[in-house]
Amino acid sequence: MDKFVIRGGNPLVGTIRVSGAKNSALPCMAAAILTEDVVTLSNIPRVRDIETERKLLQSMGAEVGLREGEAQDRTTICCRTLSDPVAKYEIVKTMRASSLVLGPLVARVGMARVAMPGGCAIGGRPIDLHIRGLEKMGATITQEHGYLEARADRLHGAHIVFDKITVTGTEDLLMAAVLADGETLMENCAREPEVTDLTALLKAMGAKIQGAGTSTIRVQGVSKLHGAEYRINPDRIEAGTFLIAGAITAGDLIVANCNTSHLRAVIAKLLQAGARVEVLGPDAVRVRSDGKLRAVDITTEEYPGFPTDMQAQYMALATQAQGECRVTENIFENRFMHVQELVRMGANIKVDGNTATVRGPAQLSAAAVMCSDLRASASLVLAALVADGESVLDRVYHMDRGYERIEEKLCGVGAQIQRLGNLFAPREPES
Ligand code: EPU
C-alpha cells in the first residue's frame, strides 16, 4: 500500500489547478445508463472512484473508454447493451456511490440488483430513502443474500418528500424519475452543486426537469433519452482543500480552474479566521496568510452551508489558530477519525458527541499516521505540511479515491511530498 512522506515547513506559493468534481462525475457516469446512445463526459478526475465506476459499468455490459488521442480527462460511455444489471459486492464495498446505479437501471431496463453498501468509516450510510422513493414510483424491492433487487415494468411519477436531505438519494431518484411515466415532485431535495451538474447533463440528454439547485424538483418523465456531451464542474472540495493548504502554510496560493460561487461557505470561514482571500474571477481565488490565524467555530450543514467534506481539513487549520473553537459535525455520525491522528501529531482536540473542541495554536510534530477515509487523509496531509519534521502517512489509497495526483499538485507549489509505492496498486483495498 502506498504511503506519503511529507516534510513540513514550506509555505505554498504559486498557482494550483483544480480537477473535475468526483461527486459530480460519479452520478453523471451513472446517468449514461439511461440511454442507448453515447454519453461523452469531460473534465473527469483521474481518481480511483472513477476507475471503480468504469469497472462497474463495464461489468454490466457497457462500453466505457477513452477515445484514441483524446485528453485523458474525457470518457465515453455507451450503455446500448446492459446484459448484467448487477452492482456486485466486490465493487460496492469499495465505493458506496455504486448505489447510484439503482434508479437508472430500474428506469432503463426494469430491473437492478445492487449489493447493500453497509457502513463505512464515517457512518452507517443507509440507502433507505433511495429504496422508499423507488417503491413510491412503483418498484418492487426485495432483499436477499446482501443484495437489493428492484423491479418495475415502467416506473410512474410520484410525490416524494425526503425525510432527510440526501445528495446521492436525490440524484438516484432524479435519474429514475426522468424516464418514469408522468410527473414526479420531489421535496426536501439536496441543493448541492453536484445535483445541479447531474441535472444539466440529464437536460442535455432530453430530460424535463425544473427546480434543480432548490429543495423542490419537478420532473416530467419522457419515454427516451439521447446521448450528450457534458463537461463536469470543478471539484469544490479539492478547491477548498487547496485554500486551506494556502492558509495553513502561511502561503500565497492561487487556486485556479475552480468555481468560486461554490466556495462561499469555506471562503467566509477563512476570512473570519484571518486569511486574506480574494476572488479573482468566476474560476480563480487567491489565498494569503501571514500565519496568524484566529479560532472560528464551524458547523457542517447541507449546501450552501459549510460542507461535511471540508470538516476534517478545517480542523487541521484550527489546530494552527489562536484560541478555542468548536467544530460540529451534523451530517455523519462518525466523522472524527482524523482527530486521534491529529492529536498524535500534537494537536489539542477533545471530542464530545458530534462536537470537537480545538485549542490552538499547537506546534505539530511529524509522526507516522494512518489515513482512515478520504477527507481524513486530506486533513493529515495539511497537518503534515506544517508539522516539524517528516511525517509518514499510511493507507493513502483513501486519498487516491478522490484527489487527483495531490502530491504532484502540492509539490508544484512548494510542498515536499514523496509517494512510496504505485498510484494504482493491483490489489483492491476496502474502504
Ligand atoms: N441518509 C439516510 N438514508 C439514506 C441516505 C442518506 O439516512 O437513504 C443519511 C446519511 O446516513 C447521512 C445523511 O443522510 O447521515 C446525508 O447523507 P447523503 O446521502 O447526503 O450522503 P451521500 O449521498 O452518501 C454524498 C457524497 C459524500 C458527502 C455527502 C454529504 C457522493 C458520491 N458522496 O454522500 O462525499 O459527504 O454526500 O455531502 O456524492 C466524500 O466525497 O468524501 C464523501 C463522503
118: Cβ–Cβ under 8 A, 6 or more apart, which residues?
A: 93, 125
β-strands 276-281, 284-288: how paired?
antiparallel
pLDDT by position in tens, the chain (length 431)? 899 999 999 999 999 999 999 999 999 999 999 999 999 999 999 999 999 999 999 999 999 986 555 566 899 999 999 999 999 999 888 888 888 999 999 999 999 999 987 667 777 788 999 999 999 999 999 999 999 999 999 999 999 999 999 999 999 999 999 999 999 999 999 999 999 999 999 999 999 999 999 999 999 999 999 999 999 999 999 999 999 999 999 999 999 999 999 999 999 999 999 999 999 999 999 999 999 999 999 999 999 999 999 999 999 999 999 999 999 999 998 899 999 999 999 999 999 999 999 999 999 999 999 999 999 999 999 999 999 999 999 999 999 999 999 999 999 999 999 999 865 555 555 54
Query: Among 102, 114, 166, which residue has the most ligand 1 atoms within 8 Å of its CB, making it the best to mutate?
Result: 166
Burial (CB < 10 A; 0-12, 13-18, 19+), residue 189, is: buried
* Adjacent-strand bridge partners of 393: 4, 369
* Distance, CA of 248 to CA of 270 (rounded, Å): 10
Q: Is the dihedral of CA 372, 341, 304, 262 positive or negative?
A: negative
* Whole-number Å distance between alpha carbons of 76 and 393: 35
CA of 334 to the centre of ligand 1 (A): 13
Q: pTM higher than 0.85, yes or no?
A: yes
Distance CA 297, CA 328 (A): 8
Residue holding cell 428492484? 150
Q: If you take atom 7 of ligand 1, which residue's CA is the nearest one?
A: 126
Q: Which residues line ligand 1 (CB under 6 A)?
A: 23, 26, 96-97, 123-130, 164, 166-169, 194, 308-309, 331-332, 374-375, 402
- DSSP H helix total and E strand total for the chain: 14, 25
* Helical H segments across 137-192, by residue range: 167-177
Q: What one-character DSSP code corresponds to residue 379?
A: H
Just list the catalytic residues. Answer: 120
Ligand 1 atom closest to the Cα of residue 194 is 39
pLDDT tens digits for 143-175? 999 999 999 999 999 999 999 999 999 999 999
Q: What would the grid cell of residue 353 be?
A: 458527541
Query: 167 C-alpha vs ligand 1 centroid, how far in Å?
Result: 6
Q: How far apart are the first and last CA of the chain?
A: 13
Secondary structure element (H or E) that encloses residue 306, with its range: none
